Amino acid sequence: MKRIFRTAGRIIILLTVTAFLWLAAHLIVQGFGLIWPVLLVPYVQQILTLWLVFGLLFVTMFIFSKSARERHHAIWDSLTATIKQMSSGNFTAAASRKMEKIERDHPVTKLADELSTLAAELSEMEKLKQEFISNVSHEIQTPLTSLKGYAHLLKKPDLSYEERGRYLHIIETETERLSKISENLLKLTALERQTEPIQKKPFRIDKQLRRTILTCEPEWSAKQIEFLIDLQESYVYGDEALLSQVWMNLIHNAVKFTGEGGRISVKIVDLPEAAAVEIADNGIGMEPEQAERVFERFYKADKARNAGGSGLGLSIAKKIAELHGGSIEVESKRGEGTLFRVTLPADPHEKKQLKSGRTSQ
Task: State the Cα–Cα distance between residues 290 and 299, nearest whole angstrom.
Answer: 9
What is the pLDDT, as a whole number, of residue 43?
58
What is the pLDDT, as a whole number, of residue 78?
67
User: Taking a C-beta distance cutoff of 8 angstroms, is the pair 282, 345 a contact?
Assistant: no
DSSP 8-state code for residue 34: T
State CA 255 to chain mean position distance: 31
Task: State the Cα–Cα distance between residues 50 and 58, nearest whole angstrom.
Answer: 12
Helix and strand tally (H, E) in the chain? 10, 7
Task: State the Cα–Cα distance between residues 321 and 315, nearest whole angstrom.
Answer: 10
What is the pLDDT, as a whole number, of residue 218?
86
| Cα separation of the two ends of the chain | 65
Average pLDDT per block of 10 residues along the chain, 361 residues long: 66 70 66 60 64 70 67 67 69 51 57 73 73 68 82 88 89 83 75 72 93 90 93 90 90 92 94 91 90 81 51 85 92 93 80 49 45
What is the pLDDT, as a whole number, of residue 276?
94
User: Taking a C-beta distance cutoff of 8 angstroms, is the pair 237, 202 a contact?
Assistant: yes
Q: How far is CA 270 from CA 238, 277, 346, 347, in A?
A: 16, 9, 9, 12
What is the pLDDT, as a whole number, of residue 90?
66
HSE value, Cβ hemisphere, 13 Å, CA-based, for 74: 13
What is the pLDDT, as a whole number, of residue 358?
45
DSSP 8-state code for residue 346: B
DSSP 8-state code for residue 272: S
- Quote the radius of gyration of the chain (alpha carbons, Å): 37
Task: State the Cα–Cα distance between residues 3 and 7, nearest whole angstrom.
Answer: 6
Residue 278 phi/psi, 5-degree rounding, is: -110, 120
pTM equals: 0.57
What is the pLDDT, as a whole number, of residue 303?
47
Helix (H) or strand (E) holding 59: helix 42-87
What is the pLDDT, as a whole number, of residue 328?
94
Contacts with 312 (C-beta within 8 Å, 6 or more apart), sequence order: 181, 184, 185, 188, 297, 298
User: Taking a C-beta distance cutoff of 8 angstroms, is the pair 343, 272 a contact?
Assistant: no
Please choose, from the candidates 269, 291, 267, the residue with its C-alpha nearest in 3D space to the C-alpha of residue 279.
267
Angle between helix 205-215 and helix 240-256 axes, rounded to 10 deg: 40
The number of beta carbons lying within 10 Å of the beta carbon of residue 20 is 13
The number of beta carbons lying within 10 Å of the beta carbon of residue 263 is 16
What is the pLDDT, as a whole number, of residue 207?
95
Helix (H) or strand (E) holding 255: helix 240-256
User: Taking a C-beta distance cutoff of 8 angstroms, is the pair 114, 94 a contact?
Assistant: no
